[in-house]
Amino acid sequence: MKEGNFITTTLESLIGWARKYSIFQYPFVTACCGMEYMATAASHFDIDRFGAGLTRFTPRQADVLFVVGTISHKLAPVLRKVYEQMTEPKWVVAFGTCTITGGLYDNYAAVQGIDAIIPVDIYIPGCPPRPETVLDALMKLQEKIQREKQKWSLRK
Amino acid sequence: MVLEEVEKEFSLRRAESIDGIPTFYCHRELVLPLMERLKRDFEVLLDITAVDYLGRKEKRFELVYHLLSLSEKMRLRIKVELGEGEKIPTLSFLWKNANWLEREVYDMFGIEFQGHPDLRRILLYPEFKGHPLRKDYPLKKSQPRIKLLRPERE
Amino acid sequence: MMEKMLLNIGPSHPAMHGTIQIKVELDGERIIKADVEIGYLHRGFEKTAENRTYMQIIPYTDRLNYVSPLLNNLAYAMAVEKLLGIDVPPRAKWLRMIFGEISRITDHLTCIAPIGMELGAFTVFLYMIKAREFLWNVLDATTGARLTTSYIRIGGVKADVPENFEDLLRKALEETKKAVRDVHGLLSRNPIFLKRTKDVGVVSQDDALSYGFTGPVLRSTGYYYDVRKAFPYLYYDEVDFEVPLGERGDNYDRYMVRMKEIEQSIRIIEQSLSKMEKGPVKAEDEVAEAYEAIKASQEGKYLDGKLKLNPNLEGMEREVYYKIMARVPRYILPPKEDLYRSIEGMIRHFKLIMSGHGLRPPAGEVYVPVEGGNGELGFYIVSDGTDRPYRLHLRAPVFSIMSALAEMIKGHYIADVIPTFASINMIGGELDR
Ligand code: SF4
């Protein structure tokens, strides 16, 4: 930008813009979908292009929770705890059919959709979803983050 | 041949098998001495599992051991019939992986192993009631550990 | 006075690829006691399988050891074939071998990638995953899926390979060789890597046998056992390959054995490619769409010539179908052209698919093992003569190996848990089923 020029925007959308391109994600990887998650993160598909390359392995520093793979009833309390430990604002991505409906595993062991445990923002279908689908979902998430009413506060 | 010797000594009953693995039925009380004997030739305990013949056979469970002899390049299957509530001695001091394998059988079928050092659930959680691989456990009966936000199934 | 500390690693931990929990009791940084808790990915595979027909189980087997899905397919398909007593045609066998070995390579690549990553060598991860991506392209082109392929079916394989298969495969193998070479350069003599892996997590040969180890982890202790050599199946006795062995059974040996096995698998694939007969040339032109054939068959007519099939069915055309599928009408689905064209084909298809009919093997039980990515992977199936297995059990190699983890990390530093755990290639789907 040349000197003396300026852009007008609302603070709201500025924050949204900043947030959507600096997604710190927490991968909660349990099963086969993790393989595609790895592929998405590696060089061929490169999730870094979307500003979502930085994985934080502690929920306290993450904004987006990627739930990747089947969640069993044994694991359900862990997932909820991880979610509760994340600070606001936070979003959840359900990665793969298992996290959406239980997928192939309609039985005693698997949770039939993680929205029975935690609220979900974006669902990525596929068993496992191809990396292209994941990137598409990521962009949808970014749109959602941009459009949202931003929660923020100035602390004295 | 080891097998013929053992077959006589422990009065095993030969069962037919279509996959070429020699299969024998053994009495519950003779399992321990039999396995101690077999351990000399069969170095690896491949697997322990069970089958639930609810309502089909007189004794409800059949415990299936798969053994592998690396030197003889041979596998062996030993079966033990068990009624509901009947116990069976553990093999965990003969083969170390029997520890976990038996825990799995206990978890899935509720078969108890006498003398097992640490018999508790392995794949499921302690609050779980029942044993899922029994034929009378319904496929879709889940037991959530936490309160769910919505019912799982309609 | 020493003070003990209890530390909980997992279930959701960055270095736990997959979910397990290790509770360790520490004296300073040394582990004095460890307790491994598994089952977080227990998905009820065995119970579900009892409620599915034989054909429906194939997709589930993909998701057991999901880094080498085709080897699981293979073990299951071979078990059911044994039960049915059918033999598969030679071309299908070669294809099974090629794809099985591709799967083994992806397995080992995906095992070594995190070892590198967790020990601070992120480049290794990127190189390995890159090579895997090329291999997956081959799978994608042939099977239509990257990971969960369900390619190996009962009686043969799903489809013949596409025309550019050899080029794709050779390119992928080149890339793999390059990645392996690079990783050798990065890790194999790297002092940091050696410090973290040499003489760490040692397993003696006796312990390994007593724990029921098989596969690369057993071979790393120097014990020569490979199902492909000891009980040859497919055409493994017709190709020439070595079984790499380790010496001490530590993390480094496990890494090295896997690296060498990748090279051997490449050898097997190359030999299979040259030994397999060339695929039939597809010459005929397509004459009609499938729906036209169906319409004609409703009027009792039979439409001659080649049909235009859905692109998903590429490689399943009638002229190649019986080269890749056993010709056993009782058990094997008819080619799609027959299904669309004639009422007999339709009936045959329905009889095999409809619930209550389906594939009904004779009563009996089988245990069929193959050499999986982690060792002897066997399916134990009990059939009672209906269209669903009465009992289906997977002999998971990694289950036995994991039961030794607590002992393997005992006495070591807490940081050694990471390479030790990574080097045994724990796969949740196979471990917990
Ligand atoms: S959605 Fe499919 S690929 Fe993903 S975890 Fe579930 S079964 Fe595995």
When the pLDDT of each residue in chain A is averaged and rounded to a whole number, the result is 84
pLDDT at residue C259 greater than cutoff 70: yes
| Subunits in contact with chain B (3 or more CB pairs closer than 8 Å) | A, C
Which pair of tokens denotes residue C93? 């066998």
pLDDT value, residue C279: 64
pLDDT class of B2 with cuts at 50, 70, 90 = confident
Q: Which residue of A has its CA nearest to B142?
A: A108
Q: What is the pLDDT at residue C15?
A: 65
Q: What spacing in Å lies between the alpha carbon of A27 and ligand 1's midpoint?
A: 15
Distance CA B7, CA B34 (A): 10
What is the rounded distance in angstroms from the CA atom of residue C106 to the CA atom of residue C427? 13
For residue A13, what pLDDT is reported? 81
C285 — pLDDT class (breaks 50, 70, 90): low
Ranking A20-24, B47-51, C39-43, C300-304 by mean pLDDT, the lowest is: C300-304
For residue C148, which residues of chain A lie inside 8 Å, CB to CB?
Answer: 32, 127-128
B142 vs B36: CA distance, rounded Å: 40
pLDDT digits (tens, 9 = 90+) for C354-364: 877 778 888 88
Amino acid, res. A113:
G
- H helix and E strand count, chain B: 3, 7
Angle at which helices B31-38 and B2-9 pack, to 10 degrees? Answer: 160
Q: Is residue C1's pLDDT more than 60? A: no
pLDDT digits (tens, 9 = 90+) for A120-129: 988 998 888 8
Distance CA C391, CA C380 (A): 8
CB contact under 8 A, A115 and B146: no
> Could you tell me which chain B residue has the CA closest to the CA of C44?
B132
- C394-411 residue pLDDT tens: 888 888 888 888 888 888
Do B152 and A77 lie within an 8 Å CB cutoff?
Answer: no
Q: Calculate ∠ Cα C72-C77-C83, nearest 5°.
A: 135
pLDDT at A156 over 60: no
Domain architecture of chain C: domains with CATH: 45-277+360-432 (1.10.645.10), 286-353 (no CATH)
Buried b (16+ CB within 10 A) or exposed e, C92-118: bbbbbbbbbbbbbbbbbbbbbbbbbbb
Closest CB from A43, A57, A70 relative to C41: A70
Residue A53 has pLDDT above 80, yes or no: no
Out of A37, A70, A75, A124, give the residue to mutate to test ligand 1, the one with the largest number of ligand atoms within 8 Å of its CB.
A70
Average pLDDT for C273-298: 71
Q: How far is B34 from chain A (nearest CA, A)?
A: 36
Helices within B39-121 (DSSP H only): 98-109
Please determine, for residue C210, whether its predicted confidence score (pLDDT) is greater than 80. yes
* Contact assessment for residue C66 and residue C106, using Cβ atoms and an 8 Å cutoff: no
Residue A134 has pLDDT above 80, yes or no: yes
Give the pLDDT of residue A2.
67
Q: Residue B134 corresponds to which tokens in the numbers above?
A: 């029994």
Residue C17 has pLDDT above 60, yes or no: yes
In the 3-class helix/strand/coil scheme, how is chain C assigned residue by residue?
CCCEEEEEECCCCCCCCCCCEEEEEEECCEEEEEEEECCCCCCCHHHHHHCCCCHHHHHHHHCCCCCCHHHHHHHHHHHHHHHHCCCCCHHHHHHHHHHHHHHHHHHHHHHHHHHHHHCCCHHHHHHHHHHHHHHHHHHHHHHCCCCCCCCEECCEECCCCCCCHHHHHHHHHHHHHHHHHHHHHHHHCCHHHHHHHCCCCCCCHHHHHHCCCCHHHHHCCCCCCCHHHHCCCCCCCCCCCCCCCCCCCCHHHHHHHHHHHHHHHHHHHHHHHHHCCCCCCCCCCEEEEHHHHHHHHHCCCCCCCEEECCHHHCCCCHHHHHHHECCCCCCCCCCHHHHHHCHHHHHHHHHHHCCCCCCCCCCEEEEEEEECCCCEEEEEEEECCCCCEEEEEEECHHHHHHCCHHHHHCCCEHHHHHHHHHHCCCCHHHHHC
Instruction: Calculate the dihedral angle through the C-alpha atoms of C430, C153, C55, C372, rounding to the nearest 10 degrees.
Output: -20
Instruction: Say if residue C315's pLDDT is above 80.
Output: no
C139 closest CA partner among B123, A66, A36: A36
Q: What is the pLDDT of residue C284?
A: 59
Give residue ranges with CB within 6 A of ligand 1.
A 31-33, 69-70, 96-98, 103-104, 127-128; C 63, 148
Which value does ipTM take for this structure? Answer: 0.90
Residue type, B121: R
- C14 vs A contacts (CB less than 8 Å): 55, 57
- pLDDT tens string C102-150: 999 998 988 888 888 888 788 888 888 888 888 888 888 888 888 888 8
Give the number of other CB atoms < 10 A from CB of residue C290. Answer: 18
Q: Return the pLDDT at B58.
A: 82
Nearest to C209 among B44, B64, B66 (CB): B44
Cα–Cα distance measured from residue C392 to residue C383, given in angstroms and rounded to the nearest whole number: 9
Cβ C140 vs Cβ C146: under 8 Å: yes
Label each residue of A41-93 as H, E or C.
Answer: HCCCCCHHHHCCCCECCCHHHCCEEEEECCCECCCHHHHHHHHHHCCCCCEEE
Q: What is the pLDDT of residue C286?
A: 66
Hey, are the CB atoms on B141 and A112 less than 8 Å from each other?
A: no
Asked if the model's pLDDT at residue C176 lies above 80, the reply is yes
Q: How far is CA C122 from CA B121, C117, C185, in A?
A: 37, 4, 14
Nearest CA to ligand 1 atom 8: A32
Mean pLDDT of the residues in chain B: 84
- Kindly determine whether residue A109 and residue B150, on different chains, have CB atoms separated by under 8 Å: no
**SS3 state at A5:** coil
